[in-house]
Amino acid sequence: MMGPMPQPPAPRKTTGRPARISRAEILRTALRIVTDEGVDRLTMRRLASEVGSTPMALYHHVRDKEELLLLLLDDYAAQHLRRPPAPPTDPRERVIAAATAIHEVLAACPWAVEVLTADDLMSTSALWFVEQIVDGLTVCGLSLESAVHGYRAIWYYTAGEIVIRATAARRRAADDRPTYRDRVFADLDPDELPRLAEVADRWAPLTAQDTYAEGLTALVNGLLTRGD
């Protein structure tokens, strides 16, 4: 009677350099992480693990996480933030059109706003739109310095609107319980806060409305009315 057949030897584990990776693969994987989970979940160690490499190998392509985010921003802006063939000739309308274009693109990609809210991170592909805003405000009569301050106010309004709306949407998707605001507004004292008490039951739908365009127009008009 024959004994058991000998088992083939287990394949030996090989060591050495990890598989070569491309910058395009790094960007694709990083984009998936920040889109699905947010910027704070992107680390060089996590990224290296997902592309089957090592953090050290990534540094041959990108210097650090900040440079990686800048590359993601530039790539995204280059694909989605397109210059209009014929910008409005009226400088006020040009300012509004440029800000609206930025808002429309970034509203579809909230992770990009999370990155751009760091003042030292800016996509070079978006600079043409920044130029339109600053130049339009200047042509309307603001000094260059005031036009820069005006652009900053427009950017803060735009980024803040997107971040708050996106954060609220994520919160609602993850937890359908009443928010702290909902609980507070359900029990307002009409003698102390009469206006808020009157609108309390409509506060949530009212604040959920998309009023970016109206707010932007009012902001631009206010900047230009104030002048220097």
Query: For position 189, which CATH number holds?
Result: 1.10.357.10
Of the candidates 140, 154, 133, the residue with the CA atom closest to the CA atom of residue 228: 140
Note whether residue 104 is domain-resident. Answer: yes
Give strand ranges (E) for 45-146.
none
In a domain, 71, yes or no: no
Query: Residue 191: inside a domain, yes or no?
Result: yes
- Asked whether 127 and 81 are in contact (CB, 8 A), the reply is no
Within-domain flag for 199: yes
Across the chain, how many H-helices and E-strands are there? 11, 0
- Listed residue (139, 136, 144) closest to 216, CA to CA: 136
Nearest-angstrom CA–CA distance, 96 and 98: 6
Q: What is the pTM of this model?
A: 0.77
Whether 6 maps to a domain, the answer reads no
| pLDDT tens, residue order, the chain (228 aa) | 444 545 555 544 444 454 578 888 999 999 999 888 888 889 999 999 999 988 888 888 888 888 888 888 888 888 888 888 888 999 999 999 999 999 998 888 878 877 877 765 667 778 899 999 999 999 999 999 999 999 999 999 998 998 888 877 777 777 778 888 888 999 999 999 999 999 999 998 999 899 999 999 999 999 998 655
Whether residue 182 is contained in a domain is answered as yes
| Residue 136, in any domain of the structure | yes
| Residue 136 contacts residue 95 (beta carbons within 8 Å) | yes
CA dist 118 and 85 (Å) reads 30
Please report, for residues 22, 101, 112, 130, the alpha-carbon distance to residue 107 in angstroms, rounded to integers and kept in the order given: 29, 10, 9, 17
What is the domain extent for residue 139? 83-226
**Do the beta carbons of residue 55 and residue 44 sit within 8 Å?**
yes
- Phi/psi at 135 (5° precision): -65, -40
Q: Two tokens at 174?
A: 């993850």
Count of structural domains, the chain: 1
Check residue 148 and give its pLDDT.
96
- DSSP category for residue 126: G
Residue 24 covered by a domain: no
Coil vs helix vs strand at 48: helix
